[in-house]
Amino acid sequence: MTEAIKVENLTFYYEGESEPALKNVNLTINEGEYVVITGPSGSGKSTLCRTFNGLIPHFYKGKMIGEVYVKGLRVRDHPVKELSKVVGMVFQEPENQILTLTVEQEIAFGLENLGYPPDIIRDKVDEVLNIMGISHLKDKVTFELSGGELQKVAVAAILAMNPDILVFDEPTSNMDPQSALDFLKYTVKINKEYKKTIIITEHRLDYIIPYASKIIVLNEGEIVALGDPRKVLIENTLEHIGVSVPQIPFLFKKLRDAIPCREAPLTIDEALELLVERLAGHSYRSS
């Protein structure tokens, strides 16, 4: 497997701060992974995301020790403009990154800047609208869209630039649950069908954790757990630092005595299977 991102002994202080926002972070993300970053408020999730496209150290100034490599490029040596061809970023408030009037213009904007010919741009716009399931919004004015729709437009605009890696920083905070679930399904689709590496910070772990190849847990700027979510979620790390454990794995921690498992089930179906098996065995023995 090829490395998409490699972080080595990274410590970062925002300018004027005496406490580091990130402390000696080491991690590797391979191409095609779906990585979930979690941790309490102020644990450094957004800061870490900002290092993946060079916003740190180029835009947010401060003291950076250690290295971040994105597809082998040392972020220190490459400007954000160059890194953005490899890494696309989607933030919490899509309004902040929407620039133009119609959906079509919004998506064409980046391609026009790169000097693509109009017919290629048209094809590309149609393609990414289709991927995100928003072809019907093509001629809409961006300020008429709901938060969920706007966020999909923001992603389509980034997909048009064809980066290998997409970083989402709490993309669904302002959506209602159905819209959030729907949006998150598209992040999974981009990962599975289009082989993009996805890195996402998200509070609604219940929905996405079944799709994650890796979970990274941050607390006070340090990585306190990293690995297969089935293994991480059966430990007590998340509760200790004040992050809610998704309900299904949390339930099975409580059922440990009755149904011992070394790996946490993540979906309702997996949980159901384990319970049905147990209930069948149980009534068999007691009858």
Partner 1 sequence: MQDIAIEVHNLWFKYKYSNEWALKNINITIRKGESIVILGENGSGKTTLIKHFNGLLKPSRGSVKVLGIDTRQASVAQLSRKVGIVFQNPFHQFFSETVWDEVAFALYNFGYTEKEIKDRVEGTLKLLGLYKYKNKSPFTLSGGEMRRLALASILVYDPEIIVLDEPTVGQDARNKQKLAELIKLMVDMKKTVIVVTHDIEFAIENFPRVIVLSKGEVIADGPPNQIIYDDIIVKKSRIIRPPIISLLLRLREVCNVSIDYSKVKFEDIANYIKGLAGGG
Kindly state whether residue 42 participates in binding partner 1, applying the rule CB under 8 A.
Answer: yes
Kindly state whether residue 224 participates in binding partner 1, applying the rule CB under 8 A.
Answer: no
For the bound state, the minimum distance from the C-beta of residue 178 to partner 1, rounded and expressed in Å, comes to: 4
CA angle 18, 21, 23 (to 5 degrees): 100
Considering beta carbons, is residue 73 or 251 the nearer one to partner 1? 251
> Nearest Cα to 21, choosing from 39, 6, 43?
43
Residue with tokens 């993946």: 52
Q: Of 199, 216, 233, 271, which lies in the binding site for partner 1, with binding defined by CB under 8 A?
A: 271
- What is the token pair recorded at 98? 């929407």
Residues present in the chain in total: 287
Considering only 24-32, 65-73, 117-125, 256-264, which stretch makes contact with partner 1 by CB under 8 A?
Answer: 256-264
Kindly state whether residue 221 participates in binding partner 1, applying the rule CB under 8 A.
Answer: no
Kindly state whether residue 97 participates in binding partner 1, applying the rule CB under 8 A.
Answer: no
> What span, in angstroms and rounded, lies between the C-alpha atoms of 238 and 189?
27
- What is the token pair recorded at 267? 């979906």
Kindly state whether residue 287 participates in binding partner 1, applying the rule CB under 8 A.
Answer: no
> What span, in angstroms and rounded, lies between the C-alpha atoms of 10 and 18?
16
For the bound state, the minimum distance from the C-beta of residue 122 to partner 1, rounded and expressed in Å, comes to: 32
By CB under 8 A, what part of segment 226-245 binds partner 1?
242-244
Side-chain-side CA neighbours of residue 96 (13 Å): 6
The single-letter code of the amino acid at 161 is M
Kindly state whether residue 202 participates in binding partner 1, applying the rule CB under 8 A.
Answer: no
> What span, in angstroms and rounded, lies between the C-alpha atoms of 168 and 200?
5
Binding site for partner 1 (CB under 8 A): 39-42, 146-148, 170, 173-179, 181, 203, 206, 242-244, 246-248, 250-251, 254-255, 257-259, 268, 271-272, 275-276, 278-279, 282
